[in-house]
Amino acid sequence: MSDFVNKLYKNQALFYKVFLFVLTSVLIVYLLPKGGKFKYDIPKGKPWQYESLYAPFDFAILKTDEEIAEEKSEITDTHIPYYDFNSDIAERVGEDALVEVHNVFPDSTLNVYETIIDNFVSKTVSEVYEFGLLQESNRLEPDQLIYLLKGNEASEVSYKKILKQGEIRDFLSQKIDRAGFSSFKTELLEVFFNSIEPNVIFNNDLTQNELNSKLNNISYTRGIIEQGSRIIAKGEVVEGNKYNILRSLKNEYESQIWSQTNYNWIIIGYSILVALALLMLLLFMRKYRIEIFENNVKVTFIFFNIIFMVMLTTLVVNFNIDYVYIVPLCILPLSLKAFFDARLGLFTHVITVLLLGFIVPNSYEYMFLQIIAGIVTILTVSELYKRANLFISVGQITLVYIISYVAFTIIQEGNIDDVKVEIFITFLLGGLATLFVQPLIYVYEKIFGMVSDMSLLELSDTNSKLLKELAEKAPGTFHHSLNVANLAEAAANEINANAMLARVGALYHDIGKMRNPTYFTENQTTSVNSHDELSPIESTQIIIDHVISGIEIAKKNNLPDRVIDFIRTHHGTSTVYYFYMKEKENNDNINADNFRYPGPIPFSKETAILMMCDSVEAASKSLKEPTSQLIDNFVEKIVDKQMEEGQFLNSNITFKEIQIIKKILKRKLKNIYHLRVEYPE
C-alpha cells in the first residue's frame, strides 16, 4: 500500500495532466453541436467531385434567403391595413350641426330658409360620414384598399373614398356651390367647422397582428425530394436549384433527431477527435517545450484559453451565426506569445481552430481565415508592450480577414457584387475586441501567477520603489546592477533570448545586498573593510546570505517567480573563491562545500547570461591597467571556468551561443574602459 502511495505521489503531476486532459475533452465535447455532420463540402459554382448522390430519405427543399425576403416584402407591400369607424361621432355631429344652424344663422333667415338649410346640412353630414373622416394626410396610395371596421364588421373600401381632414374645406365648398347656397357659404362653413370632427382612426395593433400572422405563416420550403431520387451526378456543376437541394439535404441531415444509439456514436466520434487534437498539443509541449509541459500551472493556462475560446464561439454561434467573426480569436496566440513563445502560440491557435471547425458552418472558410489571421498575428506582433505595435497588428489582422473574405466570395459567387458590407463591420468589431488582450493579460498574470513582457517593462523602471531603495542603501550595488543589465540585454539580443527578462533579472539579482551593504566592496567608501574583523568562514556566510536575503526581499515585494529565479541562480554552485583561498592558507583540511553557494545552477539561457555578465562585470573592477588583450583573456578565463564547473549544463545554451556572448562582453568592456586600437610603434 505504501509503495502505491509513494508511486502516486511521485507521479501526481502526470495524473493531474491526465485529469486536465480528460476534463478539457469532456467540456469541449459538451459544447459541440450533437447533430450529425454532413460528410460532403458543397462547392458552389464548381463541379461535384464526389460520386453521384441520391437522397437518403425524404426531405423538403428550403427556399433561399432571397426568396424568403422577397416573399416577406410582397406580403408587407400588399397587406391591407385596418381603420376603426366611430358611428357614435357621426350621429352626434349630425345633431350638433342642426343646433349650430340656429346659433349661426339669424332668425330672419331661418324664418324663410330653415327647413331647406336643415335638410342640406343633414344630407352633407351624411355624405361626409358615409365612409368617414380621417385626420391623417394621405399616407397610402389612393387606389389602395383598406378594411373599415364598423363594430364587428369589416368592409373593404378604397382609401381615396375616405375624406381626409385636409380635403374637407374643398369638399364642403363644392357641395355648397352646387346646392346654390353660395350666399350662405360663410355661415354654412362655420356650421360645419364648429361641429364636424374625425371619426376614422388607423388601428395599428390589429394591422400589425394581422401582418405578423401572415409573415409567420410563410412556408420556408418548396417541394419535396423523395428517398432514392438522384440529387446530383458526379461532374455536374453545383449551382442554382442543385445547390439549394444540396443545402437543404445538409440542413436536414444535421438537424435530424437522432436515436440514443446514434447520439452515443456521435459523442464517441467527437470525443476521439477532440482528444486526438489535445493529445497532439501535449505531445508537442513534451517534445519541444518540456519546461512548459512539466509546469502544471502553465499547461492549465493553455487548456483554459482553449476552453474559453470554444465556449465564447459557441455562445456567439447560438445567439447569431452572423456575428461569429466578432469573437477575437487572435487573442489566443497573442496571450500565449506574451507568456511563452510564438511557436507554441501558433500551434495552440491551429489546434483550437480545428476544434471550432465542428461548431461553425462553412468550416473550411472559417478555418482558413482564422489560421491565416493567427499567422499574421504571430508575425506582426513582436513587442506586445508597445501599444503602437498592437494597433498596427490589429489593423493588419482585420485587413487580412477582409481580403480573404472577398476572395472566398468571388470564388463562391463568381463576382464581387455579392460581397456583404455588413460582414466588414463584424471584422472591424472583432479587431477592436482583440485590443482587449492587454487587460486580459494583466488578469491572467494575477490568476496564474505568470509574468509577461508588459510586466517586465514596468519592473525595469529604475524609479520603482525597490530599485530606489537599492540605490539609497547600496549605491555601488545599484550601479553594478545597471552595468550588468546593459551587458545581459545586449548578450540576450545577440542569441535571440528574452532581452527584457534578462535585463529585469539583472536589475534585481543583487537586492539581497541591501541587508549588509558595507560587506560588499562596491559599497565601501572608506579604506576600512568590514571583513577584516571576521574569519573567512564568517565572511563567506555573509556573502552567500545575500542570495537568500534577495529571495526573501523579492517575495516580500511580490516580484514574479521568473525574476526570483535570477536571484537564486546568478552564482549557481560556484565557490566564494577569495575567502576559500584565504582560509586554505591557514588550514589545508577544509571542506570546500562550506564556501560554496547553495545553487541551483542556471536553468535557462537568460539566467546563464546573467551569471556570465555578473561575474565578468564584478571581476573587471580588479583590472588595474586594462588593455584589449587583457580583457579578452580575462573574459575567456572567467567564462571557461564556469563551463568547467558545469554551471551551464541545465541552461539549454549552446557552445556557439556562449562564444557569441563572450564577444559581446569583450566589446562592451572595451567600450566601458574607452580602449582605443593599439597602433604598432
Is residue 515, in this structure, part of any structural domain at all? Answer: yes
Query: Residue 352 has what pLDDT?
Result: 95
Residues 340 and 440 in one domain: yes
Does 441 or 414 have the greater pLDDT score?
A: 441
Contact 122, 57 (CB under 8 A): no
Q: What is the mean pLDDT of residues 254-259?
A: 60
Percent of the chain with pLDDT over 70: 91
* pLDDT tens figures, 165-211: 888 888 888 888 888 888 888 888 888 888 888 988 888 888 899 98
Q: How many CA atoms lie within 13 A of 324 on its CB side?
A: 21
DSSP H helical ranges for 256-325: 260-288, 290-293, 296-319
Query: Residue 117 has what pLDDT?
Result: 85
Residues 389 and 477 in one domain: no
Is residue 268, in this structure, part of any structural domain at all? Answer: no
Q: What is the mean pLDDT of residues 331-353?
A: 90
Contact 511, 554 (CB under 8 A): yes
Which one of 188-197, 270-279, 578-587, 597-606 scores highest in mean pLDDT? 270-279
Q: What is the mean pLDDT of residues 423-428?
A: 86
Task: State yes or no: pLDDT of 384 exceeds 70.
Answer: no
Residues 472 and 435 in one domain: no
Q: Closest by alpha carbon to 539, among 553, 517, 519?
A: 519
Residues 423 and 458 in one domain: no
Q: Which of 30-44, 64-78, 431-445, 507-521 has the lowest mean pLDDT?
A: 30-44
Query: Residue 385 has what pLDDT?
Result: 59
Residues 499 and 463 in one domain: yes
Residues 443 and 457 in one domain: no
Is residue 6, in this structure, part of any structural domain at all? Answer: no
Q: How far apart are CA 431 and CA 442, in angstroms?
A: 19
Residues 535 and 429 in one domain: no
* pLDDT tens figures, 130-145: 888 888 766 788 888 8
Into how many domains does the chain fold?
3
Residues 484 and 385 in one domain: no
Q: Sign (positive/negative) of CA torsion 259, 262, 265, 267? A: negative
Which of 409, 433, 448 corresponds to the end of one domain? Answer: 448
Residues 439 and 329 in one domain: yes
Distances (CA, A) of 635 to 202, 287, 614: 96, 35, 11
Does 449 or 256 have the greater pLDDT score?
A: 449
Task: State yes or no: pLDDT of 6 exceeds 60.
Answer: yes
Task: State yes or no: pLDDT of 18 exceeds 80.
Answer: yes
Q: What is the mean pLDDT of residues 101-125?
A: 84
* pLDDT tens figures, 524-562: 776 666 776 777 788 888 888 889 999 999 999 988 888
- 214 by Cβ neighbours in 10 Å (0-12 / 13-18 / 19+) ranks as middle
Query: Residue 494 has what pLDDT?
Result: 92
Residues 563 and 637 in one domain: yes
Which one of 84-88, 237-241, 361-365 scores highest in mean pLDDT? 84-88
Is residue 250, in this structure, part of any structural domain at all? Answer: no
Is residue 234, in this structure, part of any structural domain at all? Answer: no
Q: How confident is the model at residue 394 (pLDDT cuts 50, 70, 90)?
A: confident
SS3 225: strand
- CA 230 distance to own-chain centroid: 44
Query: Residue 568 has what pLDDT?
Result: 92
Query: Residue 567 has what pLDDT?
Result: 93
Lookup: cell for 308: 474559453
Q: What is the mean pLDDT of residues 482-505?
A: 91
Q: How far apart are CA 258 and CA 248, in angstroms?
A: 18
Query: Residue 679 has what pLDDT?
Result: 45
How many of the other CB atoms lie within 10 Å of CB of 671? Answer: 9
Which of 202, 227, 244 corresponds to the end of one domain? Answer: 202
Q: If you count DSSP H runs as helices and E runs as strands, how many of each does the chain have, helices first?
A: 28, 10
Does 110 or 297 have the greater pLDDT score?
A: 297
Which of 418, 448, 478 corresponds to the end of one domain? Answer: 448
Domain interval for residue 483: 453-672
The residues facing 610 across adjacent strands are: none
Q: What is the mean pLDDT of the chain?
A: 84
Contact 598, 547 (CB under 8 A): yes
Q: What is the mean pLDDT of residues 111-129?
A: 86
Which one of 348-352, 614-618, 651-655 scores highest in mean pLDDT? 348-352
Q: How far apart are CA 153 and CA 467, in angstroms?
A: 89
Q: How far apart are CA 28 and CA 276, in angstroms?
A: 13
Q: In this structure, what CATH number is given to the domain that contains residue 587?
A: 1.10.3210
Distances (CA, A) of 107 to 9, 96, 120: 118, 18, 18
This prediction has a pTM of 0.63
Residues 172 and 306 in one domain: no
Is residue 437, in this structure, part of any structural domain at all? Answer: yes
Query: Residue 397 has what pLDDT?
Result: 86
Task: State yes or no: pLDDT of 676 exceeds 60.
Answer: no
SS3 61: strand
Is residue 208, in this structure, part of any structural domain at all? Answer: no
Query: Residue 681 has what pLDDT?
Result: 47
Q: Closest by alpha carbon to 652, among 288, 347, 280?
A: 288
Please, which residues have CB within 8 angstroms of residue 653's CB and are 6 or more apart in sequence? Answer: 495, 605, 608
Distances (CA, A) of 12 to 17, 19, 60, 296, 387: 9, 10, 56, 10, 41
**Element (H or E) spanning 246, and its range?**
helix 240-255
Percent of the chain with pLDDT over 90: 22
Is residue 586, in this structure, part of any structural domain at all? Answer: yes
Does 420 or 337 have the greater pLDDT score?
A: 337
Query: Residue 68 has what pLDDT?
Result: 86
Query: Residue 312 has what pLDDT?
Result: 93
Residues 189 and 126 in one domain: yes
Does 42 or 374 have the greater pLDDT score?
A: 374
* pLDDT tens figures, 450-471: 888 778 888 888 888 999 999 9
